[in-house]
Structures are given as C-alpha cells and as structure tokens.
C-alpha cells in the first residue's frame, strides 16, 4: 500500500474559487465566521462552520449543525459550483505570504501508514475534537480540511513540483494576505514517479491537523470496504521541511503567583541570566526569551547547566520555559488546564503581548524563539509528544479549494 496516492478531487470551478476559499475551520469562532460569511453564500464557512446558518448561540456540536453542513455541501455540488475530477490526480499547492513561499503536493495519505506511525504525530488529541471531525466527515462523506504534512526535503521531489508549476494554474486566490495557487498533475508517468518518490521516504510528519488525522483513522474503521476504499486515505498537503515556517508561540500569565516584581525577578535569576532590554525582545537564538513585566522588557538566557543534551522534548524552548520558570516560579503545572496562562500566536506580534499586560489582564508575558522543524521531526521520530502550543504554522492552508470524497 503506497504512502500517498492520487485522488479524484472535488474542487471549485475556477470562476468560483475566490468565493469558496475560507480560513481553516478551527481558526475562527462562530461569531467571527458568521461575520466573515455574511453576504457570501458560496463561502466554504457555510460547510465548515455550518452553525452560522442556524440561530446564534447554537451549539457547534448540535446534530443540526452537521445536517446543515451536509445540505450546504450538497447544494454547492448540485449547483455545479464544486466539480469532481474525472480521474485521480495530484495537485501542487503553493502558498505565498509576503516574502515567504512554500510549494507542496496535494494527495491522500494512507490511514494504514498513519496507524503504523509512518505518518508521524507529535501531539495529543482531545476526544471531543476528534468526535467533531468524525461527525463532520461522516455527515458530508468527505474530508474538507487538508492535513498539513512535512517531509524531509528531497531535491528530486522539489524539481518535479517545480516542473508542474510551469503550466497554467487551476486557480490563484488571494485571501487574508496569502496567495493560494494550485496546479494539477494528471500525466500518468508523472503521477507514478511522484508516488514512488514519496513511498521511498522513511516518514511524513503531521505539522497541523492531528485531530483531522485521528478522525480519518476512526472513520476508516467504521466504514466497511477493502484496503483501497477511499475512506482508507485522508486529504493531505505535504511540503518539504526546509520551506515550512513556524512562528513563535508566546505566553502570557495572569499573576506572579503571590510574588512582587522584585521577588519574582530574583526567582527567575536563579535559572536564567536576566538583563533589561531597551526594546521589545524577539529571541533570535534558542534558549533566549523575552519577558515583558511592569512596562519594560527583559532578555532571559537559560543557564547552560539547565539545558538537557539528549532529550528532544526537554530541550525545546517551550519546555525550558515551562520546566524552569512557568512551573517552579509561577506555579503553572499543567498549561493545558490552568486558566492563569494564555497563548498568543506570533502572527499577532510582540505588541499584542504588551497590550495584554498593559491593559491589566495579565501580569507578565514571554516571547519565545520558534520551534524548528528539525526539532518537531526529532520528537516525532522518538515517538514523543510536544508540549501544548509549541508550534504556530504560517501561512495556513485554505478550506474548500480541494476536497476528498470518501464514497
């Protein structure tokens, strides 16, 4: 069974692609999605966040939401807004955000490979979020949110994808400052070559989409069929690891755990070198942190004796901050559950950290050096799990531009 394979995608007609494209289902809440989709009947938010078409306050997990999602999805198909390819194809997906560009392959990945850890995970999943995606997939009989994967960069794959982009694209859509461009690969020889090249890889790595992947595995177990049934594969976009961009994922904490600023700084200095900074600190090297406290910035450097050399999880900057400051000094033992801590994606900038502290809701903020792709892959290869909120990938894939039917 190959690691990936081509598929007959369900996708927008080119003239409707810009109207269809929507942010990923999990980056907007219901109110934001309702506002974004207002007066936009073709927006895929009517499928991915169908509660927006029900009375405000409707529980997003109400059975009526999944039924409305199916109705909205079927309407797009019946109106000819979405069409299905006549034959299995691969697609090349290029994301461009400012100066950053990454080019990957759209395919369906093997659920069996996921179950065997050849498509490797690095996060825990929550059952309630898995349940939501299972219900959505089963209602639509389709996967509509691609899983973001990475592979160790291979020059021959890069060349093959670059060659495909010499043709005219299926569509080019700009949304929220990101340009999404897709090309189709329908030549059987090129398809076979890509299938073989990917199958030669040791592994693929889930970057974003752990709940969608886990849900696809659960759906495959629920649907009868042979190993080649469409439900035995799930929608993915795989990019070379050296093109992917992880932004910082920063922390803000509500109080100083009963300490005043002087005592807090003294406690931090036991494990970090602390120096005042003249401006906002965006850490440029691992082991360095910015801290915003009392209206001023500090630069923190973890003392070398506290950096483990042989543990891929403990050596992460998010772990160093948790294990040597957030836990022992601020008393945050479980950042997944503690209401005193919140997380701020790097896309919001350091000014957002200052704002959260200056307005009085938070006492202290920390800026971190971004996790590196090599670190993520090392954790996954070791069969380990990263701490919560370790990675913030930008740019993000769009929902609605490519879909995988499982019937």
* C-alpha 31: how far from chain center: 21
pLDDT for residue 203: 97
Residues paired with 180 in a beta bridge: 95, 173
pLDDT for residue 47: 98
Cα–Cα distances in angstroms (integers) from residue 133 to residues 26, 67, 142, 169, 214, in the given order? 11, 14, 11, 30, 9
Residue 407 scores a pLDDT above 90: no
pLDDT for residue 213: 97
pLDDT for residue 11: 98
Phi, psi dihedral angles at 301 (to 5 degrees): -125, 120
Residue 309 scores a pLDDT above 90: no
pLDDT for residue 227: 84
Residue 13 scores a pLDDT above 80: yes
Residue 243 scores a pLDDT above 90: yes
Cα–Cα distances in angstroms (integers) from residue 263 to residues 89, 239, 240, in the given order? 62, 46, 46
Q: Which structure tokens are listed for 382? A: 């070791």
pLDDT for residue 228: 86
Chain segment 65-118, per-residue pLDDT in tens: 999 999 999 999 999 999 999 999 999 999 999 999 999 999 999 999 999 999
Chain segment 362-375, per-residue pLDDT in tens: 999 999 999 999 99
End-to-end CA distance of the chain: 19
pTM, rounded to two decimals: 0.92
Domain locations along the chain: 4-244+395-405, 249-369
**What would the mean pLDDT of 166-183 be, rounded to a whole number?**
96
Question: Helix, strand or coil for residue 103?
Answer: strand
Average pLDDT over the chain reads: 96
Q: How confident is the model at residue 48 (pLDDT cuts 50, 70, 90)?
A: very high
pLDDT for residue 388: 86
Chain segment 206-236, per-residue pLDDT in tens: 999 999 999 999 999 998 778 889 999 999 9
pLDDT for residue 162: 97
């Amino acid at each position: 069974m190959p690691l990936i394979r081509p598929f007959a995608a369900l996708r927008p007609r080119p003239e409707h692609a810009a109207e269809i494209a929507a942010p990923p289902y999990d980056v907007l809440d219901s109110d934001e999605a309702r506002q974004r989709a207002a007066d936009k009947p073709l927006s895929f938010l009517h499928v991915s966040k169908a509660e927006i078409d029900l009375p405000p306050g409707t529980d997003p997990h109400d059975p009526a939401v999944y039924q409305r999602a199916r109705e909205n999805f079927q309407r797009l198909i019946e109106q000819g807004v979405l069409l299905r390819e006549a034959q299995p194809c691969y697609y090349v997906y290029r994301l461009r955000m400012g100066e950053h560009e990454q080019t990957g392959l759209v395919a369906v990945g093997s659920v069996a490979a996921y179950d065997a850890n050849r498509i490797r995970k690095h996060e825990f999943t929550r059952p309630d979020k898995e349940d939501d995606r299972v219900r959505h997939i089963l209602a639509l009989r389709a996967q509509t949110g691609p899983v973001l994967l990475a592979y160790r960069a291979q020059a021959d794959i890069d060349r093959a994808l670059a060659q495909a982009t010499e043709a005219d694209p299926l569509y080019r859509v700009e949304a929220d400052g990101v340009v999404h461009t897709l090309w189709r690969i329908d030549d059987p020889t090129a398809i076979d070559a890509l299938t073989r090249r990917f199958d030669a890889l040791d592994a693929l790595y889930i970057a974003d989409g752990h709940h969608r992947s886990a849900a696809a595995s659960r759906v495959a177990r629920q649907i009868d069929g042979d190993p080649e049934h469409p439900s035995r594969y799930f929608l993915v976009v795989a990019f070379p690891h050296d093109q992917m961009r992880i932004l910082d994922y920063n922390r803000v904490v509500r109080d100083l755990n009963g300490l005043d600023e002087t005592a807090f700084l003294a406690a931090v200095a036991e494990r970090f070198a602390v120096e005042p900074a003249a401006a906002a600190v965006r850490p440029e090297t691992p082991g360095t942190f910015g801290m915003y406290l009392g209206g001023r910035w500090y630069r923190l450097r973890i003392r070398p004796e506290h950096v483990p050399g042989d543990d891929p999880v403990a050596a992460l900057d998010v772990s160093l901050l948790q294990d040597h400051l957030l836990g022992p000094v601020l008393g945050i033992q479980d950042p997944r559950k503690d209401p005193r801590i919140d997380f701020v994606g790097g896309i919001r900038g350091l000014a957002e950290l200052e704002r959260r502290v200056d307005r009085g809701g938070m006492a202290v903020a920390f800026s971190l050096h971004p996790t590196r792709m090599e670190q993520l892959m090392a954790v996954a290869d070791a069969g380990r799990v990263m701490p919560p909120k370790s990675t913030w990938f930008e740019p993000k894939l769009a929902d609605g531009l490519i879909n995988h039917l499982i019937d």
